[in-house]
Amino acid sequence: MKNRDAAGTVSSKFKGARAIALGLLVILLCLAGGVGVKMLLALGNRLDGCYKDRAPLRSFVLTMDRSGQASLIKQTEKFAGQYFLSFQSEFFTSDKQVFLLDMNRNDVEVTIANTESNVDTYQVGFYNNDCLYPTPASDMDGMVSSLKNDLSQIPNVMFSEKP
């Protein structure tokens, strides 16, 4: 073997070449890893970047008497089931007068919420929930009509366009 000296040990020339090759491999792996991380971050931003300050695709205001809140929750759950939306409710006051109803699916999110300052008025919003393949606003028209139809079963309900 040419790379070994008379005593059979590896020559320093070979050790140096091996160290350089190993160093280049480490640099190459670091560069590839950096590019990979950058690509993953860009994809992550593309996947959830549309959630920042997103405006609703469709919205309206629902006004009703507090006595209809149980019916509102029931009709909203029914609507969620019809459109295969997950349903969650979150109450913000001990008397459960102020709350958020949140319905989700991969492509759309629907929220119904009121505030402590006006418990009889609810902001209803239909939002895009898919950053890669955004839902067109026109696709929400059927859902909006269906929800309004379901909620119109509650006595003394009024709808208005969001100001």
pLDDT tens string 49-108: 566 677 888 999 999 998 899 999 999 999 999 999 999 999 999 988 899 999 999 889
Same domain, 62 and 16: no
Same domain, 82 and 125: yes
What number of other Cβ atoms are within 10 A of residue 75's Cβ?
19
Mean pLDDT of 33-37: 57
Mean pLDDT of 139-152: 92
Kindly state the DSSP code that residue 87 receives in the 8-state scheme. E
CA angle 70, 75, 79 (to 5 degrees): 150
Structure tokens at 147: 């929800």
Q: Does any domain span residue 143?
A: yes
Collect all residues with Cβ–Cβ distance below 8 Å to 68 and sequence separation of at least 6: 154, 155, 156, 157
Mean pLDDT of 124-135: 84
User: E-assigned strands of 2-85?
Assistant: 58-63
Q: At residue 152, does pLDDT exceed 80? A: yes
Same domain, 76 and 147: yes
Number of independent structural domains in the chain:
2
Same domain, 34 and 72: no
Return the pLDDT at 46.
Answer: 46
Same domain, 30 and 74: no
Same domain, 27 and 101: no
Q: Using CA atoms, how far apart are residues 47 and 84, in angstroms rounded to an integer?
A: 22
Domain range for 129 is 55-161
Say if residues 97 and 117 touch (Cβ distance below 8 Å). no
Same domain, 120 and 145: yes
Q: What is the CATH number of the domain that holds 130?
A: 3.30.160.110
